[in-house]
Structure 1
């Protein structure tokens, strides 16, 4: 395992930054999570109507007379001034479940053991798309890899990617190890780019512990997946447009046209939004998660992963208090036995695994 940069934040601060960043980014994007309705244009129109551009804090409450802006029902627990601890969300549930997996079975866990923990700890109705299909297949007696392929039209959606963080947090500076662990988890429910997305995200977070810049982390993460897969080509496309000096909005317009038709939960267009947020955010925590959520599509999932990467890059101590204090060091979770857990305790347990 490669050590973290001695001149930068320590391991514990970076891991806590990852947890806090994931939860804050998730909550920032949660009220506008529905990419077919909450387009990038509608999100910015909402923010302008509430005088909240540039976006530097959690989303504001809906403006008076803003009937055209239909936020998710949970918005009252996720907007600025109303947050009292984290909202429950699968983007955080899977990080918790992944921690429990590694504590229970170690890094030699099997895909079958991932499925067993789902059945034991995760309510069926708190799973979605590919995860729900895999859960149903598990309950019906199927075993991996059939759990991912039988009656599952969501095999390349974003679900496996949102489960990958803990494998990066526990593999600091070792992106190949992180990708290997993420792959073993992902094949329970995903195939193809769905699996590559999880491997890329885990490697990205592992690389962020030692990378000098977001671009270095992005480039390193690309080394763990096939260069010819569509996900890798899309990441490289965003990086090349950024390097050529194209603006953030123009980059998303260009790549959006090239990935049109895949749907707002497919992993490939979401990775484009995530990559753009990381590169144009230039390592600044607030700018990174704000641009990522403003990019639309699966806003809470993208915000969560962007926050995790940015939090690892800068460390918890450098995350502005307006993002962390409202969380009150508590998570709400559907994972049995973890509702109300302290974020700091989850991070400390993650550090123990990372240090082994």
Structure 2
């Protein structure tokens, strides 16, 4: 683990977070459709392609029968075809959060988050709760009504995927990271949707200084209500892991216990994420591979798992098959950022972390 006491150490860990998020997102993107690409179908795909255990980006479709089509963007996301990251909201929101902190500082308001969406983010590149909130903003509503009016997605995963920037800029301060993430999340989410953002921000923040994955999870759990369904589900995954249940059986158990919530809901995805982190045990490749193989919102879960694992290991320790195809380049729908260098995003994030009051 790279120390964070020095600027080079912190810089390596911040860059690791960015690279991990983008690589994990790219890994999961071709199979991002949880009601179609189940855990069993993902592994069937990998077996047909001779790619188990998974240790690189997804291979091209093996051409066998019985497999559903991949996402339309798959040609930009499979091994051998990647030349920089393709555009995705899981990365767009990290970039937008960086712009928010650079523009308004750490005292930003929820209203300023909404104003920046309208200024920088195309409406058609928003989805579920974010699209509902965007529409409400355009119609003149203000927070918290933007999250609650005509929005059936309030507990879904959208706020969680926006939280990384608050963890990266508050290294070792999970409560502060969670407070920032909450201020952002309430624009579009309530309840477990907000707690998911707080949990993710705190988890990433804690990864800078915790002794390992379990320590980071314990710190992240401390910032959300202990009686919330999210907290109870994360603790359940931890207990099954501690009982030495296999990764497969752990996910089967949690799928039964969260049945009916849907594949984009925060709670079942937090279960997949937590299992990937615990059974990955700090190894970057194993962590992102298990998380994506877990199914549900594969690109979002892969991105968050990659961010945590990348912070834990540092950029220099991420195997090159994940980073070299990215060519230090990001495609983005955020106005003014398309084609930006990953290294530039990490350097700007580092400056924010160093300047935080």
* Counterpart residue number, 1:316: 315
8 Å Cα contact 1:58/1:78 also seen in 2:
yes
Structure 2 distance, partners of 1:76, 1:211, is 37
Structure 2 distance, partners of 1:228, 1:4, is 34
Q: Deviations over 1:17-65 (max 9, x none)?
A: 0000000000000000000000000000000000000000000000134
Structure 1 distance, partners of 2:354, 2:4, is 15
* Counterpart residue number, 1:42: 41
8 Å Cα contact 1:62/1:69 also seen in 2:
no
8 Å Cα contact 2:100/2:108 also seen in 1:
yes
Q: Matched residue of 1:92: which SS?
A: helix
Q: Unmatched 5+ residue regions in structure 1?
A: none
* Counterpart residue number, 1:245: 244
2:27 paired with 1:28? yes
2:194 paired with 1:195? yes
Structure 1 distance, partners of 2:177, 2:6, is 23
Q: Unmatched 5+ residue regions in structure 2?
A: none
2:51 paired with 1:52? yes
Q: After TM superposition, give the deviation of residue 67 of structure 1 in Å.
A: 6.0
What are the equivalent positions in structure 2 for 1:50-199 lying under 5 Å apart? 50-66=49-65, 68-199=67-198
Structure 1 distance, partners of 2:119, 2:6, is 42
8 Å Cα contact 1:46/1:69 also seen in 2:
no
Provide TM-score, normalisation by structure 2: 0.98
* Pair 1:94–1:343, CA change in 2 (3 A): same
2:8 paired with 1:13? no
Q: Matched residue of 1:106: which SS?
A: helix
Q: After TM superposition, give the deviation of residue 212 of structure 1 in Å.
A: 1.1
Q: Deviations over 1:210-242 (max 9, x none)?
A: 011101100110000000000000000000000
8 Å Cα contact 1:329/1:344 also seen in 2:
yes
Q: Matched residue of 2:107: which SS?
A: coil
Structure 2 distance, partners of 1:206, 1:4, is 14
Q: After TM superposition, give the deviation of residue 4 of structure 1 in Å.
A: 5.3
Q: Matched residue of 1:107: which SS?
A: helix
Structure 1 distance, partners of 2:339, 2:86, is 11
CA RMSD between the two structures: 1.3
Q: Matched residue of 1:159: which SS?
A: coil
Q: After TM superposition, give the deviation of residue 7 of structure 1 in Å.
A: 9.8
* Counterpart residue number, 2:331: 332
Provide TM-score, normalisation by structure 1: 0.98
8 Å Cα contact 2:160/2:193 also seen in 1:
yes
* Counterpart residue number, 2:304: 305
Bigger drift between 7-16 and 220-229 goes to 7-16
Structure 1 distance, partners of 2:287, 2:8, is 19
